[in-house]
A and B are shown apart, each in its own frame.
Chain A
Amino acid sequence: MNENIIFYPILVQMAFAILLMFLWMRVEWQKWVSIIGSVLNLVVASSLFAIILREGTTSVQAGGWEAPFGISFVADALGVTMVLLTAIVGLAVSIYSGVSVNRARLKFGYFPILHLLLLGLNGAFLTGDIFNLYVWFEIIIISSFVLLTIGGEKAQLEGAVKYFTLNFLASMIFLTAIAVLYGLTGSLNMADLVAKMAAVENRTLVQVNALLFLIGFGIKSALFPLYFWLPASYHTAPSAVAAIFGGLLTKVGVYAIIRMFTLIFEVDSLIQIVLLSTAVLTFFSGAIGSLVQNNIRKIFSYLIICHIGYMIAGVGMMTQVALAGAIFYLIHDIVVKTNLFLMTGLIYKMKGTHSMRKLGDLYAEYPLLSLLFAIPLFSLVGIPPLSGFWPKLSLIEAGFDTESYWIIGAILFSSLLTLYIVVKFWSEVFWKPGEQLPNIKHFRYFRKLKKRHKWRLVAPVVFLSLISLYIGFGAESVMELSNRISDELMDPQHYIEAVLPST
C-alpha cells in the first residue's frame, strides 16, 4: 500500500477548490465540477476507509520528514470514518446546492469555498499534528465565515458577527493551548506528545492545558455554556450551508475533544466532572431551547446543541462502551443533522416560510416526501431501530457501568424532549392545515421547479435517508466499526506505533 493515499482526500478537495476558483463566475460549470469533485472524493474516501479498516492505522509524513519532525498525517479508523462521512455529506450538499442556493451566491464563490470547507474537514480528520490541526481548523472556520455571510443579508451579517467573534475566541484559546503545550513538551506531533506529555512533571499544568483545549474545542462543539454562536447564526445561512454546518462543524470540535482526551490528555476526575456536567447542561439547554422556537431551523439548531451532549457524555465516561456509543452517535448525528437541514430547505422551497406556525399541510400535499422526511426526523428521536436509538443503548449501559445515573437521566430527558419536539414538529408542519403560500416575487416554489431540479433537491435527502436507514438497520456493522474505533482510541499504542515506528 502506498501511504500517500492518505493525502488523496485532501488533494482531491484542494484540486477541485482550485479548479472551481479558475471557473470563477461560471456557475453552470461549477455546479457539475463540484459534483464530480464530490463523487471523486467519495470514491477516494471509501477506498481509504476500506484500506485502513483492512490494514489498520497508517501514517504518512508530509515532506518525507520522519515523525516527530515533519507533519504526520494519520489515518486511523476514526479519522477515515470521519473523512467518509464528510465525503457523504459533501456529495449530498454539493448536489443540493446547485439548485437550492441562489444564483447570485453561486456566482460569488460559493462552490470554491464549499470545497475549501470540505478540504479543511478532511485535513482536520487526518492530521496527526496539533498545530497543523489548528491550521485546518482555521480553513474550516474561515470557509464557514464566508459561507455564512455570502449574500450579505442583514440577518446573516448579524449572526455572522457573533459567529465570527466567538469562533475567533475559540481559535485563540486553542492557539493559547498549543502555546502552553509546546512550552511544556517542545513537540507538536500528537503521537510524540503521548509520551512527552506524560513525562511532564507538573501535572497541574497538564490539567490546565487540557482544560484550555477543552474550552477551545468546547466552543466549537457548542457545549454549554459556550454554544451561543450557534443559535445566533445557523438559521441565517442558506439551507445547504446550514446543512453542512449542522452536520459537520460542531462535530469537528467533538472529534478534536475525542482525539485530545484519548491520546494526549487523560480524563481525570476534574475533567470528568466538567465533561459530564457540561454534557448534562448541554442536553438540557439544547432541548429546552429547541422547545420554545418557532423557526424550524432554530429548532434544529438547538437540537444540534442538545445532541452534542451524547458525544460529550460518552467522552466524559471514557469507557470502551461509552466511547463506542459516542462514536456511533457521532456517525448517526452527522448524517441526520445534515439531512434535517436539507429537509428544512426543501420545506422552505415548498412553502416559502420557516415559521412553524405558518407551515402546514405538507403531508397532504407531498405524502411520499413527508414519509421520506419522517426518516431523519424519527431517526433523530431514536425510535428503534432507527439510527439514533443504538448509541443510546451504549451510553445508558456506560452510565450504569460508571454509575453516572444523572447522565442516564439527562439522556432520557433529552430523548423525551426530542421526541416531543419532533412529534410537535410533525403535527404542526405536516399535519396542520397550512396557511396560504406567501406570494414572493420570483420565488420558484418547489412545485414549479423542473423535474430534474426537483430531483437534485430530493436526491440528497433520499441518499442521506438511505444511509440513516442503513445505520439503523445495519447497526451491527456500524457498531462493529464504533467498537473498533473505540478500542483503538482506548489503546493508542497502535496510533503511536503507526507514527513513530521506532518506539
Chain B
Amino acid sequence: MQNKFLTNIFLTFLWVALTGAFYLSNIIFGFVLSYFLLWIIFSRTPNNQYFKFIPKVIAFVFFFLYELIKANFQVAYEVMTPHHNMKPGIIAVPLDVKSDIQITLLANLITLTPGSFSLDVSEDKSVMFVHSMYIKDRESFIAGIKNGFEKRILELNES
C-alpha cells in the first residue's frame, strides 16, 4: 500500500517535472494519471513491493557519478595507449543481496564503475558473473565489490 503510494507520488512528481507546470490542477492530474496507470499495471500482479527504494536509488545515482568519471579516465587511458595492459577475465561473485532490484542495482553499479561489467546473474541469484579488464587477484576483486557497492545497497535496504 505504502509502496504504491510512494510510487504514485514519484510518478506525479515526474509528470509535473516533465510538463514543467506547477499548478495544483496539473499536480492533481499527474497524481490521477499515475494512479490510474499503476492501477492498470499492478492490479493483477501480486508482487508489488519493488517501489519502496525509488527515492534512494535517485540519491544513489548521484553518489556514483564520481565513480563513473573515474572509470572513464581509466577507459580513456586504456583506449589511447598503444599497448593493451589488460588482464581480463570473468569472475563469479557470490551475492548477499537477494531481491531483484538490489541485484539489478548492484549489477548496474558494477557496470558503470572502473574496468568491470556484470555479465549475468545465476538463476538462483547466488552468484553474479562479472567481467573485468584487470584481474590481478580474484579474492580482492570480490572483496572490493562486496565491501563497496553491495554493502551500501544492503544499508540502503535497512534504512
Within 8 Å by CB, do A and B touch in the complex?
Answer: no
Which residues of A are interface residues toward B (Cβ below 8 A)?
none
Which residues of B are interface residues toward A (Cβ below 8 A)?
none
